[in-house]
Amino acid sequence: MGERVVQLTGLRALSIAAVLVTHLWTYPEGYTFLNRIAAAGWLGVQLSFVLSGFLITKILWRAREGSRYFVNFYARRSLRIFPLYYLVLATVFLVLPLVIDIPAKLEESSWMYWLYLSNFAVATAGWQLFLTDVTWSLAVEEQFYLVWPALVRRITRSQMIAFCLALIVLAPIGRALLWSEANWMWIHMMMPLRADAFAVGALLIMLPQEKLRKYAAPVLMIGGAVLLTLILTGNFSRKSMLGGTIGYSLVAFVAGAGLIMGMNAKAFTWKPLVHMGTVSYGIYLLHPFCLMLTSSLLAFAGLGGPGLLESVMQVVVTGAVAVAVATVSYRLFESPILKLKRFFESNRTAPAPAAAVAIPSVVKEP
């Protein structure tokens, strides 16, 4: 049905690596700059949203004239996303309560997780359990999938460009109008308020690659420098007005520029990086379980604690275990299910959008 760029899989590995650092770092006292960089790893989710907007729009645009357009898309997405997600939910809500008590608020809102509304559940009740808290971003992506296929099916390329530009302008305005420190989680987790990241990715598919490359390098360099300066000076946070409004836009533009530059970078074809990107979905869902195991083992070995060495060990060991577990999950559980995608191939493709013409190094979509 679609194609996947090897380099973008490598970029996805960077997004999951950033998230892992944020979640696994222990933030030792006295290492302000390191802690600020680690805390900024949540930007990896923004990169993931931009990548999703790019790849999903490319897949949909190429299949938009197919007779089973909606069936094929949703069947293939379901085969990719649902099995592991619902296995995790079953473990948390059906098995875990037999061993430990889970938060009462989490039990009360469990139905929201089954319906991919966990972003609403977390924004309402706050962080409850790390094992399920991470699913909020998956809910945002799923809500994006609900509306985007119908849009791509019905509008022209010029209309798509105009719509993406409108989202890129309106989303930060909406965040600014709704912003308050008390509301930061709602702003962070509601799909319409994060839609500009998906729109940036989609816009890159609609515009000619040769023109995009002219601007990608300066946007990446200047935007990246501004972003790094804000992070290191402690002026970039989801809870601040700057970070919670135009900050998301800045990250989306930098991520988009990085995407364009990365498509021609051989570094992102490095096999370990591509492998990590391939199993990144499993890493994201399963690393909280891995942390439960490794934190206990590190403590038993005398390597648990708030120090710098202990923090580095937790990131390295838990990250390695998460990659290993996700690899086993992908090969033994996810891949056999993914083979069913062959029953949902598009029988007709539309001409590739401008940005897809010169994309190198393609393999079949996973």
* Alpha carbon distance 9, 277 (integer Å): 5
* Alpha carbon distance 206, 113 (integer Å): 34
> Can you give the pLDDT of all 366 residues of the chain as single tens digits?
344 579 999 999 999 999 999 999 999 999 999 999 999 999 999 999 999 999 999 999 999 988 899 999 999 999 999 999 999 999 999 999 999 999 999 999 999 999 999 999 999 999 999 999 999 999 999 999 999 999 999 999 999 999 999 999 999 999 999 999 899 999 999 999 999 999 999 999 999 988 898 999 999 999 999 999 999 999 898 899 999 999 999 999 999 999 999 988 999 999 999 999 999 999 999 999 999 999 999 998 888 888 999 999 999 999 999 999 999 999 999 999 999 999 998 765 555 565 543 443 333 343
Other C-beta atoms lying within 10 Å of the C-beta of residue 259: 25
* Alpha carbon distance 37, 356 (integer Å): 34
Q: Which two tokens stand for residue 318?
A: 């838990």
Q: What is the pLDDT of residue 140?
A: 98
Measured in whole angstroms, the distance separating CA 227 from the mean position of its chain's CA atoms is 19
Looking only at Cα atoms, what is the longest distance across the chain? 61
Q: What is the pLDDT of residue 347?
A: 64
Q: pLDDT digit string (tens) for 303-349?
A: 888 899 999 999 999 999 999 999 999 999 999 999 999 999 876 55
* Alpha carbon distance 118, 45 (integer Å): 16
Given a contact cutoff of 8 angstroms between Cβ atoms, the answer to whether 283 and 323 are in contact is yes
